[in-house]
């Protein structure tokens, strides 16, 4: 489990031989459905053992000549088409016996999982249905039982996503180039939950920071006053790198 550890030493293995590993990559791919205020995660139905017919995170084993990150992009590209995304490494799970395959089809080969988390734009993400395999967005508040330790990975990814939003401009990787302040607010509010600042304060704070440039263009969406479109100005954001809680 990620996080804090405090433990006694256990050095009693003597001089065991080295373990041989296959390395897997599992992706926790999130998106935000702003129309329904839901945070979603991409799950795929497994069609082979172990955990046949369970939902799980899209994953793959790393191939020769392929970097970990390459593998993460490959499996992502096999499941959805997106133009914009944010991706970063999460955590590496590697205890012995975490994967049932270790006991059966192998001579002591261990399976290690490097997990990645990604954020993609829901509206532009096209799921790739290959005819057989189930693939679907699930609300993180209402998940089925998952294969392996994928619920742990997901919980950890969710926590990381919330933290990221608070200090880094990930949101803009996933918003269209031009967006309204409510778009931005919706995204924050649905990811961070309800005990989040109110709209007018969020608005005032962000505008004051000065890295959102007003395009003067208005857009009308149904009823109500038309909203101004803004653009994220990466240069103007530079001074805020490494500063905590920019967005709170």
Partner DNA sequence: TCAAAAGTGTTTAGGATACACCCATGC
Partner DNA sequence: GCATGGGTGTATCCTAAACACTTTTGA
Cβ contact 190:39 at 8 Å:
yes
Please, what is the minimum distance in Å from the beta carbon of residue 71 to its own copies? 9
Site for DNA in 163-182 (CB under 7 A): 180-182
What is the rounded CA–CA span in Å between residue 191 and residue 202?
Answer: 15
Residue 74 as a binder of its own copies (CB under 8 A): the answer is yes
Task: Decide: is 231 part of the binding site for DNA (CB under 7 A).
Answer: no
Pairing relationship of beta strands 55-56 and 59-61 according to DSSP bridges: unpaired
Both structure tokens of 202:
């969020």
Task: Encode 104-117: b = buried (16+ Cβ within 10 Å), e = exposed.
Answer: eeeeeebbbbbbbb
Applying CB under 7 A, among 223, 235, 242, 244 the residue interacting with DNA is 223
Cα–Cα distance between 214 and 32 in angstroms, integer? 24
CA-CA distance, 155 to 159, in Å (whole number)? 6
Residue 117 near residue 164, CB atoms below 8 Å:
no
Taking the least distance from each CB to its own copies, the nearer of 98 and 203 is 98
Which residues is 162 bridged to in the sheet?
none
Binder of residue 113, out of DNA, its own copies, none (CB less than 5 to 8 A by kind): none
Cβ proximity to DNA: between 12 and 35 the closer is 35
- 5 contact, one of DNA, its own copies, none, CB 5-8 Å limit per kind: its own copies
Selected binder of its own copies within 11, 130, 198, 235 (CB under 8 A): 11
CB of residue 222 to its own copies, shortest distance in Å: 33
Question: Token pair of 98, please?
Answer: 């975490």
Which range in 14-22, 65-73, 141-149, 226-234 contacts DNA by CB under 7 A? Answer: 226-234
What does 224 bind: DNA, its own copies, none (CB cut-off 5 to 8 Å by kind)?
Answer: DNA
Q: Give which of 78, 81, 95, 75 is closest to 28, Cα–Cα.
A: 75
Task: Give the separation between CA 21 and CA 7, rounded to whole angstroms.
Answer: 25
User: What whole-number distance in Å separates Cα of residue 138 and Cα of residue 56?
Assistant: 11
Name residues contacting DNA, limited to 187-206 (CB under 7 A): 197-201, 203-205
206 touches its own copies (CB under 8 A)? no
State the minimum distance, in angstroms, from the CB of residue 228 to its own copies: 26
Selected from 91, 122, 156, 202, the binder of its own copies by CB under 8 A is 91
Pairing type for strands 178-180 and 59-61 reads unpaired
Angle made by CA atoms 35, 39, 41, in degrees to the nearest 5: 125
Binding site for DNA (CB under 7 A): 180-182, 197-201, 203-205, 207, 218, 220-228, 245, 248
Binding site for its own copies (CB under 8 A): 2-7, 9-11, 13, 16-23, 61-70, 73-74, 76-78, 85-89, 91-92, 94-96, 108, 110, 112, 114, 166, 168, 170, 173, 244-245
């Amino acid at each position: 489990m990620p996080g804090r550890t405090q433990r006694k030493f256990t050095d009693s293995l003597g001089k065991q031989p080295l373990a041989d590993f296959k390395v897997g990559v599992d992706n926790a791919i999130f998106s935000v459905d702003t129309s329904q205020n839901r945070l979603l995660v991409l799950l795929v139905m497994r069609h082979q053992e172990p955990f046949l017919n369970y939902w799980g995170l899209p994953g793959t084993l790393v191939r020769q000549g392929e970097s970990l990150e390459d593998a993460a992009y490959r499996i992502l590209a096999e499941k959805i088409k997106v133009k914009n995304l944010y991706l970063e490494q999460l955590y590496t799970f590697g205890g012995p016996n975490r994967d049932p395959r270790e006991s059966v089809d192998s001579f002591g080969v261990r399976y290690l999982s490097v997990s990645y988390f990604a954020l993609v734009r829901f509206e532009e993400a096209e799921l790739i249905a290959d005819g057989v395999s189930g693939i679907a967005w699930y609300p993180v508040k209402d998940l089925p039982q998952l294969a392996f330790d994928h619920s742990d990975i997901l919980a950890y990814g969710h926590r990381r996503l919330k933290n990221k939003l608070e200090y880094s401009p990930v949101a803009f990787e996933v918003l269209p180039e031009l967006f309204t302040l409510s778009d931005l607010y919706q995204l924050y509010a649905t990811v961070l939950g309800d005990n989040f600042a109110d709209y007018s304060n969020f608005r005032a704070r962000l505008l004051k920071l000065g890295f959102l440039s007003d395009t003067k263009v208005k857009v009308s969406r149904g009823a109500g006053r038309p909203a101004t479109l803004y653009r994220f100005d990466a240069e103007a954001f530079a001074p805020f790198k490494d500063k905590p809680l920019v967005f709170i």
